[in-house]
Every structure is written in structure tokens, then in C-alpha cells.
Amino acid sequence: MSASTTQSGRGAARRRALTGRAIFAGPGLLYITLFMTIPVLLVLVYSFFQRGRFGGIVWEFTLENYVRAFEPVYLNVLSNSLVIAGTTTVLALVIGYPTAYAITRLPKRWRTVALVLVVLPFWTNFLIRTYAWIVLLNSEGPINSSLVDAGIISAPIGLLYTPGAVIVGLVYAYLPLVILPVYASIERLDRQLIEAASNLGASRVRAFFDVTLPLTLPGVMIGAIFVFVPSLGNFVVPELLGGGKTVMVGNLIRDQFLEARDWPFGAVLALFVISLLVILFAIQAAISRRINGTGKRYAAKQVTHA
Amino acid sequence: MTLDSTNAPLLRVSSVSKAYGDVVALDDVNIEIQQNEFFALLGPSGCGKTTLLRSIAGFEDPDAGAITILGAGSGTGSGPGEGGQIDLLSLPPNKRPVNLMFQSYALFPHMNVRKNIAYGLEREGLGKDEIAERVNEVLITTGLTDKADVRPAQLSGGQRQRVALARAIVKRPRLLLLDEPLSALDRKVRAEMQIELKRLQHEVGITFVVVTHDQEEAMSMADRIAVMHEGRVQQIADPVTLYSQPANVFVADFIGTGSLLHGIVANAVLLLRPEAVHISAEMAGAQLHGEVVETHFFGGSSTTSVRVAEMETLIVASHPGAPKFAVGERVGISWNADDAILLEDQP
Amino acid sequence: MRNLGWLRVPFIFTYAFLYIPIAVLVVMSFNASKSPFVWTGFSTQWYTALFNNELIRQGFINTMIVAVGATILATILGTLLAIGVSRYFRSAIVEAYSLAPAIIPDLVLAIGLLAFFALVGVTLSLFSVLLAHVVFGMAFVAAVVIARIGQTDSSLEEASRDLGAGVVTTFRKITLPSLAPAIIAGALLVFTLSLDEFVIAYFTNGPTTPTLPIVIYSMVRFGVTPEINALAALLLLVSFTIVISAQRITRLTDAV
């Protein structure tokens, strides 16, 4: 009697869980599958077929598109992109890490203000933020004119339309995405560990490199991925601040889809970006597991701010 | 060893004060700790004991006062005052000849046990062979040899505590500070570790200063105890003296059990420890009369609580064997004048 | 600030770096001169010019259509998804899958959707942009709501279900009210995201219905004009207001 009651109770609970999943998560998961997963898989599929004459696809299997990516022209763009995205990432970390560290040292009330001020620019129009740098770096712009006024240079110098301008624009765009995860990882670090290192004879610099840095590495990695991958795929900054002279993977992909109408080759290039993302996340997960066996829900948490 | 160095205290805390805004954490604290002593700083939370410990280690800066340590006889090069007193406060934490075992142990999660222990020796710039030798030695002393290559996350609480201890003593500090060393352990492990700590202290010959809020822990391990309350040292004495001759009402109340009776002696408080109280059915000759309200039987001994008319505190008596009186019975209470402790009445 | 030591240097640098460009834009939007670089006096003429610009006005209307539609759909789907994921699945993989649209590079999502719409024969229009914006918008709402659910305890809902209330009643009477702040904050964030989104709109939009960011893109490509400064200042004001309100409604940064 009592056994059957609990059994039907358990059955009801299971039914309720399934109903809950279907009602609540069902529509969303379906939507994501339809409008993200299938489209991305489609990109994968397209990469193995031939291009149509006016865009689109001809259903004949080929590995041609992959072979093409190894042509010197494209290898050049790829390596150039990696260098620019890499430089951007390093710069963003060099600026972002100490800033995040400084924020953790603020009184609690000011910490929130400081964090909101970091996120705020990120939520504003990306084109507008890039446009601001066109104004700043212009030969008639404030940077050049104040340098001339100060007598540091005699005539305006070409700041705009250089790889440097592209890097500055990318750092500006993605700096908030470095600061947040790094902040979170420093905030989470047990301060007593640094005291312990100091107590055992480590100088402040030594304690930083032996304890703080390795233990915040998972956060640093997340920040690095959040800068590196979107930098690779960005075509607006190279175009507006690089003046089209700096070509990155993002520009190539854009051109293949909208101008050259070679979707399969564009798909191969997009897969390159996606696989980098996946590989980097896998490395990040491995590192955070190695360090403290946690960090699973780490990436997901950061999305709130991204 | 010269006569001088055996008499001079290893650590001298003189007139140290520290305040956080309006909150006074340390108020004119004076303590001297002798070499090879097992010393305890005992008090309720917020009494300043942890602030004092952190000041000695260098993680807090006192507002006033001095903390000095006796210079090493055989030159560790840690200061100019060889043989004399070294000013600890002028040294950064990483240069102090003092090691601290943190309450949370603060083991480096990304290093295995061996690396955790070796870390302090590496910072001293010792050679690889010497480090390996000393680490192995300590691993044996603390019984951790088979855990040497394991990360802290895979250890039990008791094992982590051993690693923390090993990491500190491998440095052979003049003074080892332990912040609530047993609080994170469960009851059974705690009893084992108490004995273990005492054994280790004898074995390695290091001066131990333990911070704790647990009076039983302090009483059972320490040679001398400083009882602290509201930033002030209330009394410094060995456990027996603290128990039998508490300096004031706070110490009397904090250490051991007993009944504090007001109004029996003019302008003073009378402290009766349970074992000093005799109760009997004989009313004649008893100093007080009352009614039994509670009895507890602990197997080998019992306690009987008695309410005396117009007195707020119950008087508790302990005696061997089973309870002799039932709840509700009227009894006479008596004690030897020598066993009663008179304390100054504080507001 | 005072006890930051040398960390003050990067700290101040970061905030100057983040805000000086924005400040320059806003100041220059009130410049009387036609040159966007040389200050000649105060004027609001560029704001007037902006409101008379037919392209920008049409772009704004298109953007509002997409943003409002995407916000409504993404908020509903994202809220349900968050509850489903954290109450009925409790699986890290399902949660990661739900949040993936927020992490995937926008360009990849954009070309994928372009290919997908072409394959199934959806004509590119504001509607296809809206469908695309709902995908990542939903993930952001879900992220905010999941964080909120993590802070509330589930015993109220369990009690309600124990007392015989069904899944739907429990949701309406108990779950929804307690999550309201997070849902509103999530909606506000999706609205700003959609308002400012360029890359996906650029790929999935039809040629005759440019959204505001697409209009801005074509203007910026031609060079610097004071009108863009005025538009920038207005857009910054809108985004700042919305994000700060969202932050005040749910203390977003606490979810770090």
C-alpha cells in the first residue's frame, strides 16, 4: 500500500519534471537549435561543397575550399590576423589585469560603481565607439593638434589607417570583456594565500607570480578568449580604422559572403574562427581543472556582462 | 647557551595598541614569551587575539608600541641586533623570522604537498639537495610521506592541517604562530591533533604561540595562557593559576565553570568552583540553603544545581558517583573558606 | 583610491581610455563649426539637422520595430528557458547550450543565418533580422534570470507544488513575481543590444530597410560629419540610461 503510494508519487514527480522541461525549456532550446545550431552546422556542410555562380551552393562534394585556405595570400591574412588579435589580447590584458586588481582593492561600494563604469561603454553602440577613434586619430583630430601645439611634432602624423589604429580600436572595443572575468577571479582568490606566501619569505612580486597569477589564470584565459576571438572576426575596425589596408579574417569572411559570393570558402574561414574558439575554451577548462578542479560554470557566468 | 639568552624573553610585545576607526582591537598589550614555551592567546571572538597574531606576523601595523624578538645566536642574518632584540615592526612580513599557520591553512591549491612544504625553503635560496632533505625529514615527522605528491584538495582536514604545520616548521622559525589550529577539525581528530601538536613542539623545539577561543584547548596544551578581552590582556598565567587564582571576574567566568556569587562578601564577588561546593541534607552548619533544580549524571561523576532564594545564579556542585539528591529536595550548601575565590566586584 | 599605490596608474589610465573618446564625441556634437575637429562655438544645429535627416529617421523606425519585437520575444523565451534550465534540467551542458548564442562570434552567427535563410527561402527583411536578434537576446535574458534564480531559494515553489498547485499556477503565482526584476533588467539589455547591433543585421537584412546601425555604418564609411557626433551623443545617452536602470533593478555586477 505505502510502497505503491511512493511509487506513484515518484512517477508523478518525474512526469512533473518532464512537463516542466517541455513547457519551460522546450521553446527556447528549439529556437536555439533552429537559429543557431543548424545555421552553424550549415556553415560546416557548405565548406565541403562548390560555390554557386551567384552565391549559394552547388551540391558537389569537394575539399578544394580547404586547400585554398593554404594559398600564400590567405595564409598571409591568417597570420596577420593572428598577430593583430594576439597583440590586442596582450595589450588588453596588460591594461586590464592591473585595473581589475585595483578594483578589487576598492571599498565595496565603489567596486560596484567602478565595475558599472567598465561595462557601460561595452553596452553602447559599437560603430559609434569605433567612430570616436576616427575623430581622435584624424590628422586634424585632437591628438595630432595637441601634439603639434605641445611642439612634440611639427606636422600632423598619420595615426589613422595604420595597424596601430586597428589594435587601439580593438582594445577599446573589448577591454571591458577582459576586466570582468579577471576581476571575478581575483575577487575569488583567497587573500590568505598571498599572506601565506609572504609569511614563507616571498616578496610581493614573487608572491604575485607564484600565487596570484597562476590562481587567476582561468579568469585571464576567459578574458583573453573574449578579446582574441571577436578581434579575429571583426571586420568593422580594420575597415574604418585600418582604412582597408589591414585585412583580417573577418574582412575575408565578409567579402566571401557579400562580395565575392564564394560561400563555401567563407565557410572554411568561419570554421577556422569557430575551431579556435572551441580549442581555446578547451584549454581554459583544462587549465582551471588543473589549478583547482573548479571553473566549470565560469564561462557561463561571464555572459551576464558580455 | 648563555645564561642571558635563557632569561631574556624570545618575544616581547610592549604597549601595543591598534584601533580600526572607533573600534579598539588592541589596548596597551604587554606580553613576554619565553623560548621553547607553548603559549596561548585565549579569548572570545573580537577580543584582539587575532589582531595581535597578525601584528606579530606583519599583516597588521600597530598604531603604537613595539614588538621585538631575540636575535638568533647563530646568525640567521635577520638583523643587526645579533643576540639582542630585533625590532619586528621594522621588517616586512617576508623578512620576519616568524611563521604563521593560518586558520584556513592557506595551502597553495596548485602545488602538491611537497611543493607546498618546499616553498618557504626555496624563498630562502637554499640548494636543491638541502631542500629535498629537509622536506623529506618533515614529511616523516608529520607522517605525510605517502601524500607528498598529492594536491591539497585530495586531503582530509586533518592531513591538510599537518601540511600547513609541516610547511611552517620546515622553515625552523624561532617562533611559530598558530591561528585557531584545531577549529576546522572534527572532535575526534581534534583530540589527536592536540597531542600531536604538543609532541611536535617538544620534538622540533620551536616556540609555539596558539590563538584560540576554546579554553579547554588552551588549558590542555599551553604552558602559559594570556586571557584577552576587549583588546586588553586580562591575565597571563599557567593554566592551574588561571583556574585557581583568576585575576578578575571575566577570567573567572571564561575559564572553567563555577558560580559567581554577589552579595555574600561585601564589595566582592565570590567564585565557587563546582568541586569546592559540598551539599548535604544537613542544614545545620551550612552557609546557604536552597532547593535542587537540576541534576546531571556523567557516568563517573554528577553535578547538582541548587537555587538559593533571592540569588540569581544557581550554585553548581560536582561530586563523584550518581546524583545524591532529587529535584525539589532542600539542601544545605557549604564550602571551605580556602577553596572559595574572592574577586574584586567590577561594574 | 589612496591605498591603491602604483595601481592608480593603470586604474586611471583605463577609465580615461574608456571615457575620453566618448566625451570628445559628446562635446563635439555641440560644436558650431562644420568641421568636426575645430571648436568654434556652442550650437545645437546638428541635432536639428539630425531630426530632419530622412535616412536616419527611417533607420530609427526600422531599428525600433526590430528592437521592440526582439525584446518581447527574447524576454518571454529567455525567461522560460532560464526557469526550465535551472529548475527542471540542472545540467551544466544544457545551461551552456542555452547561453552559447551569447558567446558565439557575431560574424559566424550572421553568415550561418544568411545561409540558413537562403536555404529555407526566407526573404531577407526586418523580420529576418528580428528572428536573428531573438537568438542572442534570449541567451542574455536567460543568463540574467539564471543568475537571479541562483540567488533565490526554491523551497517556495516546492511548497506551492506540494500544496497541489500545478506547474503553470506555481509559475504565475510564485516564480514570476520573484523573478520580475531580473526579467525587466534582461529585457532592457536585449533592447539596447538590438538597438546597437550591426553585424548580424548587416547580413540578415533586406536592402530596402536599413536599421540605424546600418545607416551609421554607411555614413561613417564616407567620413566624419558633425551630424554623426550628435547621433552618437543621443545613442550614448539612451544606452547609458537603459544599462544603468538595468543595473539598479538587479544588481547585475553582483552576479560576477
More confident residue, A111 or A291: A111
The whole-number pLDDT of residue A9 equals: 64
Residue B82 and residue B231 share a domain: yes
Where on the phi/psi map is residue B242: left (φ > 0), alpha (ψ -120 to 50), or beta?
alpha
Please indicate whether, in this complex, the C-beta atoms of B124 and A201 are within 8 angstroms of each other. yes
Average pLDDT over residues A86-110: 93
pLDDT tens by residue, B95-120: 999 999 998 899 999 999 999 999 99
Specify which of A135-144, B132-141, C90-99 reaches the highest per-range mean pLDDT: B132-141
Residue B309 and residue B236 share a domain: no
Q: Is A158 on the interface with C (CB under 8 A)?
A: no
More confident residue, B130 or B184: B130
Q: Domain range holding B303? A: 258-344
Grid cell 553602447 — which residue? A124
The whole-number pLDDT of residue C67 equals: 93
> Which residue among B94, B98, B102 places its CB closest to the CB of A203?
B94
Interface of A with C in 73-92 (CB under 8 A): none
Residues of chain B contacting residue A190, judged by C-beta atoms under 8 Å apart: 104, 106
List, edge to edge, every strand of the sheet that includes B224-229: B98-101, B175-179, B207-212, B38-42, B224-229, B232-237
The whole-number pLDDT of residue B6 equals: 52
CA distance B22 to B212: 25
Cα–Cα separations (whole angstroms), residue B85 to A40, B71, B76: 72, 6, 14
Confirm whether B115 is domain-assigned. no
The per-residue DSSP string of A175-239 comes to HHHHHHHHHHHHHHS-HHHHHHHHHTT--HHHHIIIIIHHHHHHHHHHHHHHHHHHHHT--HHHH
CA distance C147 to A256: 39
Where does the pLDDT of residue B200 fall: very low under 50, low under 70, confident under 90, or very high at 90 and above? Answer: confident
CA distance B29 to B31: 7
- Mean pLDDT of chain A, nearest integer: 84
The whole-number pLDDT of residue A67 equals: 85
Chains contacting chain C through 3 or more C-beta pairs under 8 A: A
Residue B45 and residue B194 share a domain: yes
Residue B271 and residue B231 share a domain: no
The whole-number pLDDT of residue C2 equals: 58
Residue C256 has pLDDT above 70, yes or no: no
CA distance B271 to B261: 6
Q: Closest Cα of chain A to C250: distance in Å?
A: 12
Average pLDDT over residues A244-252: 85
Q: Residue B215: give its domain's CATH number.
A: 3.40.50.300
The whole-number pLDDT of residue C13 equals: 93
The whole-number pLDDT of residue B310 equals: 78
Helix H or strand E segment including C185:
helix C176-196
Confirm whether B121 is domain-assigned. no
pLDDT tens by residue, C41-77: 888 888 888 888 888 889 999 999 999 999 999 999 9
Class of residue C66 by CB neighbours under 10 A (exposed 0-12, middle 13-18, buried 19+): buried
Contacts of B183 (CB under 8 A, 6+ apart): B103, B212, B213, B214
Please indicate whether, in this complex, the C-beta atoms of A236 and C217 are within 8 angstroms of each other. yes
| 3-state SS, residue B268 | strand
Please indicate whether, in this complex, the C-beta atoms of A28 and C131 are within 8 angstroms of each other. no
Residue B233 and residue B193 share a domain: yes
Residues of chain B contacting residue A189, judged by C-beta atoms under 8 Å apart: none
The whole-number pLDDT of residue B21 equals: 86
Best residue in A23, A35, A58 to probe C by mutation, most C CBs within 10 Å?
A35
Q: Closest Cα of chain B to A196: distance in Å?
A: 6
Q: Which of A178-192, A233-247, A289-303 has the lowest mean pLDDT?
A: A289-303
Class of residue B216 by CB neighbours under 10 A (exposed 0-12, middle 13-18, buried 19+): exposed
Grid cell 570628445 — which residue? C24
Where on the phi/psi map is residue C164: left (φ > 0), alpha (ψ -120 to 50), or beta?
left
Residue A16 has pLDDT above 80, yes or no: no
| Cell numbers placing B118 | 618546499
Residue B7 and residue B91 share a domain: yes
Grid cell 510502497 — which residue? A3
> How open is the CA angle C121-C126-C132, to the nearest 5 degrees?
70
The whole-number pLDDT of residue B267 equals: 79
Strands B23-33 and B38-42: unpaired
Domain ranges of chain C: 53-255
Confirm whether B88 is domain-assigned. yes
The whole-number pLDDT of residue B79 equals: 43
More confident residue, B127 or C226: B127
| Cell numbers placing A53 | 555562380
The whole-number pLDDT of residue B3 equals: 41
Q: Is A289 on the interface with C (CB under 8 A)?
A: no
Q: Is A304 on the interface with C (CB under 8 A)?
A: yes
The whole-number pLDDT of residue C36 equals: 65
Average pLDDT over residues B47-55: 92
Residue B267 and residue B194 share a domain: no
Average pLDDT over residues A97-108: 92
Residue B211 and residue B70 share a domain: yes
Average pLDDT over residues A171-184: 92
pLDDT tens by residue, B147-173: 999 988 888 888 898 899 899 989 888
Confirm whether B57 is domain-assigned. yes
More confident residue, C8 or C170: C8
Q: Residue B278: give its domain's CATH number.
A: 2.40.50.140
The whole-number pLDDT of residue A303 equals: 38
Type of residue at B75: G
Where does the pLDDT of residue C96 fall: very low under 50, low under 70, confident under 90, or very high at 90 and above? Answer: confident
Interface of A with C in 197-226 (CB under 8 A): none
CA distance A254 to A264: 12
Average pLDDT over residues A115-121: 89
Class of residue C46 by CB neighbours under 10 A (exposed 0-12, middle 13-18, buried 19+): buried
Q: Which of B90-99, B246-255, B317-326, C31-40 has the lowest mean pLDDT?
A: C31-40
Q: Which of A29-43, B143-157, B193-207 has the lowest mean pLDDT?
A: B193-207
The pLDDT > 90 percentage for chain A reads 35
Residue A48 has pLDDT above 70, yes or no: yes
The whole-number pLDDT of residue B347 equals: 53
Residue B181 and residue B87 share a domain: yes
Best residue in B20, B60, B104, B123 to probe A by mutation, most A CBs within 10 Å?
B123
The whole-number pLDDT of residue C112 equals: 92
pLDDT tens by residue, B287-329: 888 889 888 888 888 889 998 887 888 889 888 888 888 888 8
Contact status, residue B211 vs residue B49, Cβ threshold 8 Å: yes
Please indicate whether, in this complex, the C-beta atoms of B109 and A215 are within 8 angstroms of each other. yes
The whole-number pLDDT of residue A69 equals: 83
Contact status, residue A57 vs residue A263, Cβ threshold 8 Å: yes
pLDDT tens by residue, C141-198: 998 888 888 777 677 777 777 777 776 777 777 778 888 888 888 898 899 889 889 9
Confirm whether B160 is domain-assigned. no
Residue A244 has pLDDT above 80, yes or no: no
Contacts of B175 (CB under 8 A, 6+ apart): B10, B11, B33, B56, B69, B97, B98, B99, B206, B207, B209
Residue B314 and residue B216 share a domain: no
Q: Closest Cα of chain A to B241: distance in Å?
A: 34
The whole-number pLDDT of residue A306 equals: 35
Contact status, residue A303 vs residue C142, Cβ threshold 8 Å: no
E strand residue ranges, chain C: none
As for the ipTM of the complex, it is 0.86
Type of residue at C220: V
Where does the pLDDT of residue A173 fall: very low under 50, low under 70, confident under 90, or very high at 90 and above? Answer: very high
| Cell numbers placing B204 | 622540533
Confirm whether B157 is domain-assigned. no
Class of residue B104 by CB neighbours under 10 A (exposed 0-12, middle 13-18, buried 19+): middle
Chain B nearest-CA residue for A206: B123
The whole-number pLDDT of residue A8 equals: 60
The whole-number pLDDT of residue C176 equals: 80
The per-residue DSSP string of B37-68 comes to -EEEEE-STTSSHHHHHHHHHTSS--SEEEEE
Residue B82 and residue B39 share a domain: yes
Residues of chain A contacting residue B110, judged by C-beta atoms under 8 Å apart: 214-215, 290-292
Where does the pLDDT of residue B259 fall: very low under 50, low under 70, confident under 90, or very high at 90 and above? Answer: confident
Class of residue C104 by CB neighbours under 10 A (exposed 0-12, middle 13-18, buried 19+): buried
C53-255 sits in which CATH class?
mainly alpha
CA distance B264 to B210: 38
Best residue in A19, A32, A44, A221 to probe C by mutation, most C CBs within 10 Å?
A32
In chain B, how many domains are there? 2
More confident residue, A280 or C32: A280
The whole-number pLDDT of residue C77 equals: 93
Residue A262 CB coordination number (10 Å)? 19
Where does the pLDDT of residue C199 fall: very low under 50, low under 70, confident under 90, or very high at 90 and above? Answer: very high
Q: In angstroms, how far is CA A2 from the centroid of its own chain?
A: 56
Confirm whether B117 is domain-assigned. no
Residue B267 and residue B189 share a domain: no
Q: In angstroms, how far is CA C104 from the centroid of its own chain?
A: 15
The whole-number pLDDT of residue B83 equals: 56
Residue B181 has pLDDT above 70, yes or no: yes
Strands B207-212 and B38-42: parallel
- Mean pLDDT of chain B, nearest integer: 86
